[in-house]
């Protein structure tokens, strides 16, 4: 089955009555966990981006605290899982500034965690790729914000 384009879906949704639109949204939410999380963000969290970012930072700190450091293999798996969650939250916000703040926080927390990530080529590459993503996102911001974020990036 070929899926419709976003434009076609938008036109069709505009023609539906509100009650049927609500039914479709609820059905979509029941279908996949990510859809439910995105709708939760859009309805309840989108107005308070700063509080949402703080909530994610707190959750990330807790996840870093639970990392099994007895073996680098287990630590690597958990570090990747944390990054996947952060990237998911970044997609929900759609904000470059939120992306930069969360990735900077992730890199800072990884560095301060005491995990010897330098011993793993995969983790070093993961860390370097996040720095590249941050640099790329910084270039899209206003000059004043670029300066502030570049200073934070230089610390890493």
- Residue 129 belongs to some domain of the structure: yes
Domain total of the chain:
1
pTM of the model: 0.84
Q: Is the pLDDT of residue 49 over 90?
A: no
Paired tokens of 81: 């899982």
- Residue 7 belongs to some domain of the structure: no
- Residue 40 belongs to some domain of the structure: no
- Residue 39 belongs to some domain of the structure: no
- Residue 125 belongs to some domain of the structure: yes
Average pLDDT, the chain: 88
- Residue 141 belongs to some domain of the structure: yes
Q: Which residues contact 113 (CB under 8 A, 6 or more apart)?
A: 64, 67
Q: What is the pLDDT of residue 56?
A: 93
Domain limits at 88?
A: 48-155
Paired tokens of 50: 């700063």
pLDDT digits (tens, 9 = 90+) for 51-99: 999 999 999 999 999 988 888 888 899 999 999 999 999 999 888 999 9
- Residue 36 belongs to some domain of the structure: no
pLDDT digits (tens, 9 = 90+) for 6-32: 888 888 888 889 898 888 888 888 888
- Tell me the Ramachandran region of residue 94: left when phi exceeds 0, alpha when psi lies from -120 to 50, beta otherwise: left
């Amino acid at each position: 089955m070929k899926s419709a384009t976003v434009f076609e879906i938008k036109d069709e949704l505009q023609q539906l009555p509100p009650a049927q639109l609500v039914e479709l949204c609820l059905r979509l939410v029941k279908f996949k966990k990510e859809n439910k999380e995105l709708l939760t963000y859009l309805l309840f969290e989108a107005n308070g981006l700063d509080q949402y970012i703080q909530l994610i930072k707190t959750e990330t700190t807790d996840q870093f605290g639970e990392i099994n450091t007895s073996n680098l293999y287990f630590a690597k798996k958990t570090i990747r899982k944390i990054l996947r969650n952060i990237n998911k939250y970044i997609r929900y916000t759609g904000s470059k500034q939120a992306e930069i703040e969360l990735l900077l926080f992730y890199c800072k927390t990884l560095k301060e965690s005491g995990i010897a990530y330098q011993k793993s080529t995969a983790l070093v590459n993961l860390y370097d790729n996040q720095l590249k993503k941050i640099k790329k996102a910084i270039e899209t911001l206003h000059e004043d914000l670029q300066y502030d974020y570049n200073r934070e990036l230089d610390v890493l």
